[in-house]
């Protein structure tokens, strides 16, 4: 059963520390999205990649957030330095890009708490 894998599942860290979240997309998928969700609010798009190239990261605070895709099996989202307002669930999702849209599948999420 193919699925998107995210690590860590839960992370508690102190303000100012670096946080790195990792995502393994479904094998063969060429599109990866990072979303942030707070208190069961909407899904805020932070960044997305197609064929490992970043297409848009305008939703991401540039001063502290960075997203990369070192290879086709790994996407990373890094926060440095972390702040309490970054506490949220970070979802990675992957799909197979098609001009008419693609179904994307979500990972279980990384639950981040910054104290």
Partner 1 sequence: GENVEQHPSTLSVQEGDSAVIKCTYSDSASNYFPWYKQELGKRPQLIIDIRSNVGEKKDQRIAVTLNKTAKHFSLHITETQPEDSAVYFCAVYSGNTGKLIFGQGTTLQVKP
- Tell me whether residue 4 or residue 114 sits nearer to partner 1 (CB atom): 4
Q: Contact between 31 and partner 1 (CB under 8 A)?
A: yes
Contact with partner 1 (CB under 8 A): which of 40, 62, 63, 70? 40
CA geometry: angle at 69 spanning 68 and 71, to 5°?
150
CB of 70 to partner 1, least distance (A): 21
Contact with partner 1 (CB under 8 A): which of 29, 32, 90, 107? 107
Could you tell me whether strands 88-95 and 19-24 are parallel, antiparallel, or unpaired per DSSP bridges?
A: unpaired
Phi, psi of 44 (to 5 degrees): -95, 120
- Structural tokens at position 47: 């960044």
Contact indicator for 14, 114 with CB cutoff of 8 Å = yes
Cα separations in angstroms, 107 against 16, 34, 62, 65, 91 = 26, 10, 24, 20, 6
Applying the rule CB under 8 A, the residues between 79 and 98 that interact with partner 1 are 91, 93, 97
Contact with partner 1 (CB under 8 A): which of 82, 109, 110, 114? 109
CB of 51 to partner 1, least distance (A): 11
The residues of the shown chain that bind partner 1, judged by CB under 8 A, are 31, 33, 35, 40-43, 45, 48, 50, 55-56, 91, 93, 97, 99-109
């Amino acid at each position: 059963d193919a699925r998107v894998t995210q690590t860590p599942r839960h992370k508690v860290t102190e303000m100012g520390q670096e946080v790195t979240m990792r995502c393994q997309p479904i094998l063969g998928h060429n599109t990866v999205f990072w979303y942030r969700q707070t208190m069961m609010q909407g899904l805020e798009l932070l960044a997305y990649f197609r064929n490992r190239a970043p297409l848009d990261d305008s939703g991401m605070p540039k001063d502290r957030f960075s997203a990369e895709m070192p290879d086709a099996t790994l996407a990373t989202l890094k926060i440095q330095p972390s702040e309490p307002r970054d506490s949220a669930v970070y979802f990675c999702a992957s799909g197979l890009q098609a001009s008419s849209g693609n179904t994307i599948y979500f990972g279980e999420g990384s639950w981040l708490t910054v104290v």
